[in-house]
Amino acid sequence: MTARYVGSELELFAAATNWKGYFAQALAPFIGARVLEVGSGLGNNIRHLHGPGVRDWISLEPDETLANHIARRIAAGDLPPTCRVIAGTIASIKPTDRFDTVLYIDVLEHIGDDAGELAAAAGALAPGGHLVVLAPAHQFLFSPFDAAIGHFRRYNVTTLAALTPPGCRLRARLMLDCAGLLASLANRLLLKAEMPSPRQIAFWDRVLVPVSRMLDTITGRRFGKTVVAIWRREP
């Protein structure tokens, strides 16, 4: 992830509130009091993931334009007052800073050295803290859309587990959005669109995501177009 990230998909997916609410519910048990969100983009995940127990939320964003956008939202009261923003990467975090949760929401796939990134993130965790990664799943679904928005790769539960950083134990791995998986497969094989339309995003969010909420429970969260891995920092 470079310091100038266009992020053309960020506004497109900003309206996907059903999806954000769904994955936020799955991640809620792992959100602690001190949170570092790496690659915050427009800051659209904060409202869904920031709970009453959060005392300090740092939005780490390498693109200065996006970081300034988050800062304006905080100043305007559009985001919680416990939030602050740093324009930079994981290397910008002070060596003495420790967090209860470090989040990568649709970010790790943009980073070339993903193993090195997670090792650095684990170093910023307090003992017992959680490192949470949510990423697009299945390399066979890699599409022109992935290439257009700067993805290096897609993941599955095995490839994410293989990135377990030193000092951490894999606590959970799961798949989300099995209905969306079918739509992504159709796009990969039939439509081959470089960028989904707002109408397609709205259909997925309003129709398919509610279906996935039910089916994911039935299937034990073993299938989906999104993969989640959660590690715990050992004492």
User: What is the distance between the alpha carbons of residues 56 and 81, in angstroms, rounded to a whole number?
Assistant: 9
User: What is the distance between the alpha carbons of residues 13 and 166, in angstroms, rounded to a whole number?
Assistant: 33
pLDDT the model gives residue 190: 53
Residue 91 lies in a domain: yes
Residue 5 lies in a domain: no
Phi, psi for residue 110 in degrees, rounded to 5: -90, -5
Lateral strand order in the sheet of 34-38: 83-87, 56-61, 34-38, 99-105, 125-136, 226-233, 168-176
Residue 78 lies in a domain: yes
Q: What is the dihedral of CA 159, 93, 49, 126, to 10 degrees?
A: 80
Residue 4 lies in a domain: no
Q: Which tokens hold the place of 214?
A: 């039910």
Tens digit of each residue's pLDDT (9 = 90 or more) over 188-221: 665 556 677 888 889 999 999 999 999 999 999 9
Does the global pTM surpass 0.75? yes
- pLDDT by 10s per residue, the chain, length 235: 444 444 557 888 888 999 999 999 999 999 999 999 999 999 999 999 999 999 999 999 999 999 999 999 999 999 999 999 999 999 999 999 999 999 999 999 999 999 999 999 999 999 999 999 999 999 998 887 888 889 999 999 999 999 999 999 999 999 999 999 988 887 766 555 667 788 888 999 999 999 999 999 999 999 999 999 999 999 8
Q: Which residues contact 11 (CB under 8 A, 6 or more apart)?
A: 42
pLDDT the model gives residue 72: 98
Residue 190 lies in a domain: yes
Domain that holds residue 183: 10-233
pLDDT the model gives residue 25: 97
For position 211, which CATH number holds?
3.40.50.150
Number of domains in the chain: 1
pLDDT the model gives residue 8: 58
